[in-house]
Structure 1
Amino acid sequence: MEDFALPKDALFLGFDSSTQSLKATVLDSNLCILTSEIVNFDSELPHYKTKDGVYRDSSIHGRIVSPTLMWVEALDLILQRLQDSKKVNFNKIVSVSGSGQQHGSVYWKKGSSDILSSLDPKKPLVEQLDQAFSTKESPIWMDCSTTEQCRAIENAVGGPLELSKLTGSRAYERFTGPQIRRIFETQYEVYDDTERISLVSSFVASILIGKYACIDHTDGAGMNLMDIKQRIWSKQALEATAPDLEEKLGKLAAAHDVAGLIAPYFVQRFQFNKECLVIQWSGDNPNSLAGLTINRPGDLAISLGTSDTVFGITIDHTPSLEGNVFPNPVDPESYMVMLCYKNGSLTREDIRDRCADKSWDVFNQYLKQAPPLNGGKLGFYYKDHEILPPLPIGYHRYTLENFKGDTLDGVVEHEVKDDFDPPSEIRALVEGQILSMRCHAERFGMPSPPKRIIATGGASANHSILSTIASIFGCNVYTVQRPDSASAGAALRAAHGWLCNNNGGFVPISWMYKDKLEKTAFGCKLVATAEEDGELVAKYAFLVRKRMEIENQLVQKFGRLMNLNHASTLVIVWRGSIGSGGEDFRSIRSGGGVASLVNIHYNTIYLQPSVDMPYLLEKEHSGHMDAIPCFKMIRWRISYICWPFSKTSKGLDLVAICLSKYYIVQQAEDVASNKVIALFNELGMHRICHCGKMGTGQTGYEISWLNKFLGYVLCLAFLPSLDNFGYELAWWVLVPLKHAINAYMDWLMEKIHAWLHPVMPTNIPPLKSPKHLLFINGGNGNGVLERESDERERGYWDLRGNS
């Protein structure tokens, strides 16, 4: 084993470029932490004006990006701080590696390789790389704007399970492949001007070596582009994503490989040794796996950070529609399995601020004050669109009647509209997050109960949360010296990569710390124990089952588009909820109201009271609609009809009410609106969300007289006005007439399809009665749009909810 010792007095540097900060950890040759440093993006680089390290684009549903140059400037800043601290002799650093937030992507402009290879050590990086990117905003893992691209990629390879079999995961909105496809479809000039696409990990490695670095196998598996068995780019996945993509991605490499020598810029500016190796960077969760020294099946890690993740290792790759599989970054013979939750620390902080006076001490007191099982109070808290399960923004609370913890017989859940009291609210949040981890881990095939859990991330310093994890999972919980296991794991991987290179091939990482782990920075300590009798764990098992039942109901009711992919959907927009309202239709601009609905999948009819969609379909060829994501795919699968809205015609309203399964309304305080909402509920409809206003401005298009005439004819001929009856009478008439009107609509749909068939593609399938209908209420005769301001905050509506 002496042959595998690290050189005496050598130092190993690890970085973690995460969502909210850049961290650095320096290890000595005994694998003990010498020093560490951090740069917080929001507070220390305020000129980028990020919130939690990101930009949330209100103009595009679900789009979340970070400024690429912020990461560049942070690298210079953290190295300068380490140098100024006098704690690190850069000349003794023999290898460097790093961790990058997974899935985020960077787009290098053509010619940028020349800039990288000729960096001037007298100038800061940010100044020299300012013009190096074809887009200065990098899509990151929080982005959920690529649902259409996900479905298109899955369909191209034979479905989500086939993609999981091929790449390790079904298509997820945060994955890099769908992000690349979206840029190709919506920002072609950016894609065309891109010379190299890097992940966040390979991006920073490229700066360090002064040339484009390879993407490593582990982080590459988080792109939906790599053949996970052969560990090469999948031709099938590449072709489903974008043309000429392999050339832009470059080569793949093992995580323990050398990316290159440190660039002269860092040798001269910071006095690195010119022989310092840069080991392949990888993703943050894979680096945490290394930093937690998880090397046997049966152990689980829970990372409590901006995102919460549950991960472990397995010998085999089993395709699944849930979770992710990556190659193990420190063992080529095994795999890393992972579950990812978007609503982690930011959601916990939101509840803390609302219920605990922005104090973690008060938060923990309340958590201890509420008893385990929380008296049958359950909560689902989604500050952002959740990945697992696929649910939109919203908080849902339930009380369980007759729940004693020994059976689910006779247990009935009741939804609660108001917040729980503060102690119950906080325990509902914490228990809810951990119950979800347990139920999905079991469903994914992770060990239950695990042999042990190692907790990491910022919230792993919170003993109250760790005790709850031990109680729910039924096993002991451990932590390591530092909660930032990703940067420590990157430093450990830097040492491992140096060792592999020095020995001419891969060596097990455990050989570096065998028989001395507890003397290093990576030794674990027990922090929370499970109850020995197992009674509480058994009660939590029943609560896990009940939570899963309710979660499935929420997914059926509110779940994102993947749950409605193959269903026909009739969409009726009431009172001008797209574009400008009433008969005074002026225009629609791409990225505005239309974009809120084109995310709905195939075999869909839009009946719209104020928007002349056939006219827009004709205008599409001018390029106006090409800016809207997925419109090219959808436009050949949809028939568009215009229903001009009139204050004297309520026929459309009544048909919509009769057929709707879902409805969206604005906040309504008046008696009439509340009566309508009560009617919707009486008819068994589901309220999707509560919408705000959206504004897009006008661009001056006119309605073609032919299509406007067509709309009036259809409205007058087939839908008689029921104004004289009013809503009071409609209340008693609508329910008995519902089946009759359904049959009438079957006939009407066939007539409409036959009428418009000559102007539509011949491959449109026959239209039947819709399985799902989305009813959108614009609120008043002028629609939701208001014309006073073009800068109004915009929101987007689809079956996923309201952003």
Structure 2
Amino acid sequence: MAPLYLGLDVGTQGAKAVVYDAGARAIVARGAHAYGLLPAPPGAPGRAEQHPDTWIEGVRAAAGQALARVDAGQVRAVGVSGQQHGLVALGEGGRVLRPSKLWCDTESAPEAEELSWALGFTLVASFTATKLLWLKRREPEVYAEMRHVLLPGSYVNYWLTGRMAMEAGDASGTGLLDITARAWDARAIDAVDPALAAMLPPLLGPNEAVGTLRPEAAAALGLRPDTLVAPGSGDNAMSALGSGVTRDGQLVVSLGTSGTLFGVSAAPIADATGTVAPFCDATGAWLPLVCTLNCTRVGEEVREAFGLSQEDATALAAAEEPGCRGLNLLPYLVGERTPNWPNSSGALLGLRPGLLKPGLLYRAALEGATFSLLGGLERMQSFGLKARELRLVGGGSKNKLWQQIVADAFQLPVRLPEEPESAALGAALQAGAVHSGTPVAEFVAAHEPPVSGHVVRPEPAAAAAYAAAYARHREGGAALFAPGAAGAPAAGGGDAPA
């Protein structure tokens, strides 16, 4: 029988699992388990935390559902895709010291600004380095107990294998990695704490296994103890694999809790403003990436406020014209990292009599989230990155109206990978590559994920309306929230000097 490979995606809203059959070249089973954030205490609006035990519970539940549908004895390797940036602080013996501060936690915005000035390039509050400095300053007793630093994906790998290690694509999100050398950056580490160097784990190459399952983890999952565990990576790098994006000119747009835009590059991109994050990918190349904090949740806020189903909200929005008759919804409900305005908020601009309608507001929410990502593409293109087509993934990609908005705003063709759980599939493909001894890019090329034959093509007639709406989006946001603007909050949000 052909080997099976288990792919796990440990996200912000839940864990997903898929089982990939290398012989059939198809997913043959899947599972899912939802969870959420810990309640934020009063007076801490920027806090977003989860306990690592939540991820393990999610992995066990999602994997259990998937493995119940196959012969688990045929699973030869496991790969893990993890939400990036989250700080997992461990004490002696790997004991979890506190809940993990996640990528969307913005409490470390002052520390981000301080590190940005010290290092000469922008680190937004999402990056782990800023959370480490926050922990050192705000919870010194916890920091003093810390002996090891991991990320959500590498913590799951630690639970699976008993070994602490980190893959370069995931480590890129710490702000402590020299992405060109794929090694820890002593200067960045020293800016936080020189003692931190001893707490960071060894780095793994893209085809290097973490190890095999601990007996306890094997028993919990119902797998063989000799099952390999691949190095894993961040969710965006894994989504690129699961979307079949391995060539220049192909970009992924992910519409999830966060919005992301990324594509493979043969060389690293160093953007001192921090708009384009300089990430490694999961194959040994690079993955320049733009991430926004506000994406699908913005439309959901509008929909829920009017008590509408997604179908009804979308139908009403589809009846409205591109550009929303001059109405813009700035989507920065939880602050924003792209642009780097951690203390910004949502705002409605251009409101006139008769425009406070649910369909118009819902469409403005979708357009606003899209425009934030479009700004990222413009920055990428300034570094010479080419864009020929977009591959749309994430929960928002299922909305046909949003598909067309993306195609029209970007004026690029949009294709949809047939597998919606692209990160989990990418993790399974990485597991297959490691087990077979094949370079990851070659394995993905040989097992290319299917893409829908339907292409969402941009409407040239909508280009002018979206260009005008995008200009209003940029100008209105800058007037309110850019450093020095009249409406800008007093602290945080400035770019470091180039």
TM-score under structure 1 length normalisation = 0.58
Match of 1:133 in 2: 96
Query: Partner amino acid for 1:79?
Result: A
Instruction: Say if 2:379 is the partner of 1:439.
Output: no
> What percentage of residue pairs aligned between the two structures are identical?
24
Given that 1:262 and 1:274 are in contact with CA atoms closer than 8 Å, whether structure 2 keeps it comes out as yes
CA RMSD of aligned residues (A): 2.3
Cα distance, 1:564 vs structure 2: 6.4
Aligned length: 487
Partner SS for 2:106? coil
* Alpha-carbon distance, 1:101 to partner: 0.7
Equivalent of residue 302 in structure 1, options 247, 253, 266: 253
Query: What aligned pairs does 1:412-427 form with structure 2 within 5 A after superposition?
Result: 420-427=356-363
Q: Hey, what's the Cα distance between the residues in 2 that align with 1:563 and 1:481? A: 38
What residue is the counterpart of 1:557 in the other structure?
486
Is 2:24 aligned against 1:40? Answer: no
Alignment of 1:676-695 (within 5 A): none
- Alignment map for 1:404-415 (pairs within 5 Å): none
Q: Offset of 1:497 from its aligned partner?
A: 2.0
SS in 2 for 1:301: strand
Q: Confirm or deny that 1:361 pairs with 2:311.
A: yes
Cα distance, 1:182 vs. partner? Answer: 1.2
Q: Secondary structure at the match of 2:89?
A: strand
What is the aligned partner in structure 2 of residue 152 from structure 1? 114
| Structure of greater Rg | 1
**What is the letter of the counterpart of residue 61 of structure 2?**
L
What SS is found at the alignment partner of 2:224?
coil
Q: Unaligned regions of 5+ residues in structure 1, if any?
A: 1-7, 42-51, 113-131, 161-169, 400-414, 567-803
1:544 partner amino acid: Y
The answer on 1:497 being equivalent to 2:434 is yes
Is contact 1:442–1:448 with CA below 8 Å preserved after alignment? no
Select the residue among 124, 127, 131 that pairs with 1:175.
127
Equivalence for 1:528: 456
CA distance in structure 1 between the partners assigned to 2:357 and 2:429 by the alignment: 45
Corresponding residue number in structure 2 for 1:790: none
Distance between the aligned counterparts of 1:192 and 1:310, measured in 2?
Answer: 37
Letter in 2 for 1:207: W
Q: Aligned pair in 2 of structure 1 residues 203, 536: CA closer, same or farther (>3 Å)? A: same
Summarize the Cα distance change of 1:271–1:397 in structure 2 as closer, same or farther, 3 Å threshold: closer
Superposed, 1:451-470 pairs within 5 Å as 451-470=388-407
Q: 1:430 to 1:60 in 2, by over 3 A?
A: closer
Distance, in Å, in 1 between the alignment partners of 2:391 and 2:59 is 29
Name the aligned partner's letter for residue 108 of structure 2.
T
* Change beyond 3 A, Cα 1:60–1:427: closer
Partner of 1:244: 195
For 1:134 and 1:289, locate their aligned partners in 2 and report how far apart those are by CA, in whole Å: 33
Distance 1:448 1:537 in 2: 22
- Which residue number in structure 2 is paired with residue 231 of structure 1? 182
Within 5 Å, which residues of 2 pair with 1:286-435?
Answer: 286-320=237-271, 321=273, 322-330=275-283, 332=284, 334-355=285-306, 357-389=307-339, 390=341, 392=343, 394-399=345-350, 420-435=356-371
SS at match of 1:335: coil
SS in 2 for 1:319: coil
What are the ranges of 5 or more consecutive residues in structure 2 without an aligned counterpart?
Answer: none
- Tell me, yes or no, if the aligned pair for 1:397 and 1:417 is still in contact at 8 Å: no
Q: In the superposition, relative to structure 1, how do residues 274 and 67 fare at CA in structure 2: closer, same or farther (>3 Å)?
A: closer
Asked whether the 8 Å contact 2:429–2:444 carries over to 1, the reply is no
Q: Given the superposition, is the C-alpha separation of residues 554 and 366 from structure 1 closer, same or farther in structure 2, using an over 3 Å criterion?
A: same
Residues 564 and 262 of structure 1, relative CA distance in 2, 3 Å threshold: closer
Contact 1:391 1:558 in 2 (8 A): no
| 1:657-668 matches, cutoff 5 A | none
Pairwise CA distance, 1:145? 0.8
Q: 2-side partners of 1:464 and 1:294: how far apart?
A: 24
| Secondary structure of the corresponding residue to residue 285 of structure 1 | helix
- Quick one: distance in 2 between partners of 1:233 and 1:336? 18
Aligned residue in 1 for 2:216: 265
Aligned to 1:636: none
Change (3 A) 1:559 1:12: farther
Q: Work out the CA distance in 1 between the residues paired with 2:218 and 2:51.
A: 27
Structure 1 partner of 2:441: 509
Q: 2:4 pairs with 8, 11, 16, which one?
A: 11
1:102 aligns with 2:84: yes
Deviations 1:81-121 (A, max 9, x none): 344x3x12221111101111110121222023xxxxxxxxx
Q: Per-residue deviation at 1:395?
A: 3.2
Aligned equivalent of 2:57, options 43, 54, 73: 73
- C-alpha displacement of 1:477: 1.1
Contact 2:342 2:492 survives alignment (8 Å): no
- Deviations 1:195-251 (CA, angstroms, capped at 9, x unpaired): 211100100000111232x11111111111011111111111111112411111121
Distance 2:393 2:494 in 1: 37
Deviation (angstroms), 1:440 = 2.9
Alignment of 1:748-763 (within 5 A): none
Distance 1:236 1:288, change over 3 A: same
Distance 2:38 2:179 in 1: 30
